[in-house]
Structure 1
């Protein structure tokens, strides 16, 4: 089952309306809902796979698989830019951010709009956000991940490309752990596994982003739906 096909299971229109009515979804633009991923023992094979996926050298660069993938992300980026303008008024910064989200999401076999929704809820699009638990950056990565699968330098988690790569790789790992159950994977990502509030907020936010420009978004996200990416399972 694709990541995209899981959305209807966890966020129907009634729940979305309730979130908007209570102000929770709107509040996520300004208030980070970051939790704390729990440090768990990793098998050597899993640690090696995750380390290889994030890389240990310089900040990752965007190397698209082909011209078609580059154009897909370009269309998706263009479709999302207007809504993000207030949060990121500088055009080049905004474009680079969105293009990176699309690239890293597709690299991990995730929907770009899911990653964008997670960033909205986790950090409110604040590059240098730090949670009460010490999670860092856009995707609120706990420092232990830099020791476990990175180069040991937690300060690099404030680098945009590094942070988004870690976040996408970690979410992919949790999806693998939960056998594709997005609800449980999001809860594990936030440190609130089994509770509904956080997964519901992320999936609601993701749905809004996905609907910004349905045609362009489908073109960009369609290929992610058929990828069989797994960093931690054969």
Structure 2
């Protein structure tokens, strides 16, 4: 009886030892898996919001597999040609929500605000939707830059409050068809005079503009900063 009992204890001890070894083995395997690395896309240097991404601006950086997060890009090609909706830090992983193919759309946290005509003193004649502009306020106390950040022109309108776009392919058709690509190119190919603007702004940015001009003490001066023409985009529509 004692011999059988000892044999049972030995079998249980052996089984526990096997389970222990197996558990340690699985832990080690898991640690090895976590230490495996992947390569993700990141900027070589700081990239301001509103910049169209080019291959030379980007690189692949190595991170451990456990650090991979949903939305991280693993190929440079998946980012090239898109627009930075927010500033991108040096060697900071690019997440898909931070970039977009269509620069006319408001970024997260933004909305498209129409700027009242009576707020505006001057607009560059050649400005087009998708351009980056600086916003200044001028009045009796002088001229100051009202918004530190450059902002994107969502669309432009004429004095008749009609949208200035490509007369051959009006943006209204693209809107009806929910075709973002044609909407973008129609606005970029506009050939009319800009007299009113729609800007992509945060609520705080709009509040600053409204407070500065709502009392009629100041007027806005819109300064052209940068543009991206379709023919300069590798021959393809963005």
Give the alignment's TM-score, normalised by structure 2.
0.23
**Bigger-Rg structure (1/2):** 2
Larger % of helix: which?
1
- Greater share of residues in strand: 2
